[in-house]
Structures are given as structure tokens and as C-alpha cells.
A and B are shown apart, each in its own frame.
Chain A
Amino acid sequence: MKRTRKSDRILLQGSEACVRGALIAGCRFYAGYPITPATEIMEQMSRQLPKAGGVFIQMEDEIASLGAVIGASLTGLKSMTATSSPGFSLMQEHISFACMAEVPCVIVDVMRGGPSTGLPTLPAQGDVMQARWGAHGDHPIIVLCPSSTYEFFDLTIKAFNLSERYRIPVILLTDEVTAHTRESVILPPSDELVVEERRKPNVPPEWYTPYDDRQTGVPPMPAFGEGYRYHVTGLAHDIRGYPTTRSDEVGTLIDRLFSKISKDFHLLQWFDSYQADDSVVTIIAYGSVARSALHAVKEAREKGLKVGLIKLKVLWPFMRHTVIRFLQSSAKVLVPEMNMGQLSREVKRVSQGGCEIVTLNKVDGTMISPKEILRSLEDIYP
């Protein structure tokens, strides 16, 4: 560990940390459309990207934004967009395309209150299920969830890494509080950070089959213009990329799309635990709510209650193995969320009745406070 000097400490907004992380991860293309509370990311990108030799473009809507991002990624640039809940709805069409055509891209959704135009300036966590199931068709997806400025920085870099490694859209699901909060952070020097690059084909173009890789399940990906002239489509395709309706070819494709992620589930168990080893009641939380939960756990411990916290950093694929462990060791589990109960459904599904799951839901545009969580802990404590 390097010694940190006072000068290493900087005051940073969540959105700014995201942009820093993206640039370090190698992002060189951003397309977006203004929307509260995600606009800060776009404005920062419009300043920073040209200086880094990258491209920023403000498109005519969110559908166009993700279309441009996919086009740029196919042409070899690490690419991203950011939006908020209503814009995220518009992007679902192209998230589905990126899953099917296996185009790496990063999408930030700074969640705000809904449904519809809802509460533009207030936080919510109503898109947990939209992030998983919003795009049409059966598809795998990776969704990461930061709860602080530092995590926003860190998970943005990891989002790009995962996206490039698996050739899949990665969604950074955050909320208005995490994006707008300014915090004092110490960012690690860039040489300590791991940045993954896209795997390129190492065979001559005439030997290249764009959608076939039996070794890793993730085919290497050349950029348009590099001499590998291949076909990309949202239609079900064979290993050459050409449209097919043959059941054996379609089945193989969809199986591979799923298995390339599922085979690595064990690598995607990213969480922080706080006093959860001996906890009788364990909180499972994510995003800004996890910070209120941490505060509540500290206060409850002072009162002698054996409670703990699991903060999830990966929401999808759901961390079944991690969650089951704590479900087995706890008498009760509390899931506080700024929605009517979305991730708690998943916790209940995994628990299958084995553990009592208590939900704490809030959808009025205000944060769930430590006091509210503490009250809930005291109510349910056996």
C-alpha cells in the first residue's frame, strides 16, 4: 500500500468519478441525450473526451445514443452512454441488440423516481427489474451498482472490463443520490488499476468465423476496417454471422450467450459485508440505501443488537451463492429498497421460504434514512 498524502485527497461528485473511471478504462466514445439527473456525466464527457482524442456526440434521443455507441464499439472504440430511468426505457431496444450481436458497451442509468416522468430530481431504485428484464427476448445481462463516489469510479472501470471480456452490455445502475453526492476520495494511481482490452482475432481474415469460439464462449472481435469483413445482425445467426432459423444453430447461439456469463458466476460475487458473520438479522442492500443501512447497523450494534449488512455491488446476475450463505446463517433478512420491492423478490426466490425476508420499501422521492432502517431492525429483531 502506498502512503497517501493529504494532496491525494480530492473532492469529487459521483458523476465526475464515473467519467474519470471511464477515461482510465479507455472509453473514447460517448453519445448521449440530456436528462436529469444524469446530465453531469454527459457535460463532463463533452469537455474531457476531445482532449483525450475521443469523440463526444449529443444525439437526438436515447435510442440514437445507444445506436451510435454500438456503432463506435463495432469500429473499435470503448464506448458508453448515460441516462436516467425514462431514457433507459428508450434504450432497451438497443440493449437487446447489443446482447444478440455481442457488442461491448457501458450504459449508466442514474435512477430517478417513476413511473413515467415521475420525479426528475429525486432518487429511486425502481429500475432493478427493468435493468434485468427490460430488453426483449431471453438474454443475459451484467448490472453493477455503486453506492459511493469511490465505488462509482471503481465499478465504471470494472464495467468496461467485463463488457470487453464478455462482449456484453454492462449496466451501471445508480441513483440520484450516488450520482450527485460530492465526497472526499483518494483515487488510486492509474498504474495500480487493471484495464482489460478486447480480444482480437489472431488468425488471418479468411479463417475467421465471427461467432464461433468453443474455448471461452466469447469470440474474438475485430473492428470494422481492420480487414475482417464480417456480418453483424440482430437476427438469430449462425457462426458466420448470417441469419438462420435452423433450430440447431439458433439453440447453440442462445445457449452460448447465456453460458459465457453463467460459467463465470463465481467471479461476479462482488459485495462488502459489515458485521455479518454473527448477525441474527442481516440487511441486504445496494446503492445509496446501503449507506443508510451501514449507519443503522452501527447504531444497532451499540444497542447490543447482533445485526449485519451485506452490500451488493453486482445486482445481475444475482449473487445467489453469496446471498444463500447469509440466508442460512441469519434468523431474518431485511431488504430496504427505494421501490415497492424488486430485489427482495429475488432474495425470496433464492431463500425459497427458508428464511424470513422482511422488506422496507419507500417510493416517495426521499431516501430511506438510518433511523427508518434502525426502527425496522428493532421491530423485527427476535
Chain B
Amino acid sequence: MKEREHLIYKYLRSSKRFPHIWCPGCGIGILLGALIRAIDGGGYGKDDVVLISGIGCSGRLPTYVDFNTLHTTHGRALTFATGIKLANPSLKVIVVMGDGDATAIGGNHFIHAARRNIGITSIIINNQTYGMTGGQFSPTTPFGLKTSSSPHGNLESPFDICGLAREAGATFVARSTVYHARLLEEIIGMAIGKEGFSVVEVVSHCTTYFGREIGLESPVEMMKWQRDNAVRVEKAKDLGEEELRQKIVIGVLVDRKAPAYHEMYEKLIAKCRLEDNAL
């Protein structure tokens, strides 16, 4: 308890006018707690961290914490992050996005940042809906679900965010739910420590809209659903394909080595300067 108080004083902005904008029972607060503990655990200086967001409920997250913070446009957070990382590769660049932010309007930027393997940590909080605008279906909403913009049932199939990241070239991909707060902290810490493009999908819930749409009444029920449907990646091997489709596989899904874009660019600058001097 004492340690947690200490981190709040250390990382929350005292100058910011609280309360925050999130609904009671929202999962974003759990993510923010895990993120702060992971950054603190990694021993990174506050000046060296840049926390960037897009638009939506998750977009407000950087406002409350004492880092270099940037609240960008809808879906484009990764493009700003790319400029920041290349302008100063020594900075730890962390981007927080929602599922609509990262995979609908920002889908193109997401796959290209992954393909470049640039040193950015992407945290995608996936509540399977557009919460801030009132519960419309998103690219991760299950097929057939009735939402405020699919009153006759969703005709689209959901994205697998981690699968998308893996195929696009991300070198570290992991998933947790907000129920598994300790695992979340651990994989965020690992992701920030990587040199290349790392992705953490955080399965969460929207207590105000999405819960109503799927028939779960309280945040407690929704988190119990996460607990009951999550399966560790180590155990997932034993399950059949049909069985797995109903489950949320959590843990580290991809961890591989590949040259990071910003590192290659630094070498390129050194080479160009050397050649230029030789002329």
C-alpha cells in the first residue's frame, strides 16, 4: 500500500485538474497503474519517457502523468511517435491507443510502424467498442453483435490485433486482460525494454456501453468474464482450434530479434558522413 501511494505522488501530475474523465469501473485506470509500475520498475527517468495517445477514452491517458506527453489526432499517434523516436532515439517512446484508434482509422499507420520495426511500444486497450462516442461497433467487435451502429447485428468479422502485429513485422507481441493486472505490468515492462516495435494488446471492457450490449451488467461481471475466458499461452498449446477461438490467449506471443529502424538509420548517418568526408 505504501509503495502504491509513493508511485501516485511520483507520477501523477499535481497541476492537473482531477477528476479524470473515465467512467467508474473502466479498465483504463488499471492499465495506467500497470504502465506506471512498469516504467518505474524499468528505472526510466521521467524526462526520458514520451507518452503519446490518439483520440478516444484512451487518448486522455497521458494528460494525467508526469512525462513528456502528447495527445495527437485520431489514429495518427504512431506517426507523431515515429518523428519523435527518429529525432531523439534515446527517448523511450510509448503510444497508447484504443482498438478503433489503432486498427480502424489508424490501421495503416499501425501495420507500417510494425513493418519498419521502429523502437516504439504500442499499447492497445481493446474494449471492442467506440466508448466515447456511444458504443458503436469497432474492428474488434464480435460478429453478429447488436450495437448502437449495428442495430440489426454486426456484419463484420473482428481483427486479431496481435495476429495483425505479428504478420506486419512487430518483434514483440503480447496480450493481457485488465483482470490480469500483474501480467499486464510484466509484459508492458518487457515491451518497453525492447529495441524494436513492441505491441501489447490489453483486453478490457466498457462498462457504460459495451457491457450493456453483451448483456453483462457490472464491471465485476466483465472482469470475471475475462478471468474465466483467458488462457495462458503456455496452456493454449493443448487446446484445439475450435476451443481456442472462444478464448483470450494471454502472455508473450512473439519475441524475436530484428534490426530496429532507428538503429539502422543511425548507422546510415554515420556511413554517409564518413563517405562525405572521404570525398
Contacts and interface: CB of A to CB of B under 8 A. Distances in A.
A64 B73 CA distance: 11
Interface stretch (A74-82, A115-123, A302-310): A74-82
Q: Which of B15, B60, B86, B87 has the most CB of A within 10 A?
A: B87
Contact of A51 (B48, B81, B272): B272
B68 interface: yes
B167 to A, nearest CB: 16
B67 interface: yes
A225 B272 contact: no
B50 A225 contact: yes
Interface stretch (A177-185, A232-240, A262-270, A284-292): A232-240
B265 A55 contact: yes
Interface of B: 13, 15-17, 46-48, 50, 60, 62-63, 66-73, 76, 79-84, 86-88, 90-91, 108-109, 112, 265, 268-269, 272-273, 276
B268 A50 contact: yes
B108 A53 contact: no
B76 A29 contact: no
Given A50-B269, A50-B272, A229-B46, A71 B63 contact: no
Contacts of B84: 71-72, 74-75, 224
The secondary structure that dominates the A interface is mixed
A97 interface: yes
A227 B71 CA distance: 19
Contact of B71 (A57, A94, A235): A235
Contacts of A133: none
A71 B62 contact: no
Interface string A68-111: 11111111110100000000000001100100000000000000
Interface residues of A, number: 45
Contacts of A71: 70, 79-84, 87
Contacts of B88: 75-76, 223-225
A57 B86 contact: yes
Given A50-B273, A234-B71, 20 more contacts: A29-B83, A31-B83, A53-B269, A55-B86, A57-B82, A57-B265, A67-B79, A68-B83, A74-B70, A75-B83, A93-B73, A94-B73, A97-B73, A224-B50, A225-B48, A229-B68, A234-B73, A240-B16, A243-B63, A243-B71
Interface in A198-243: 223-227, 229-235, 240, 242-243
Nearest to A97: B73
Contacts of A225: 47-48, 50, 68, 88, 90-91
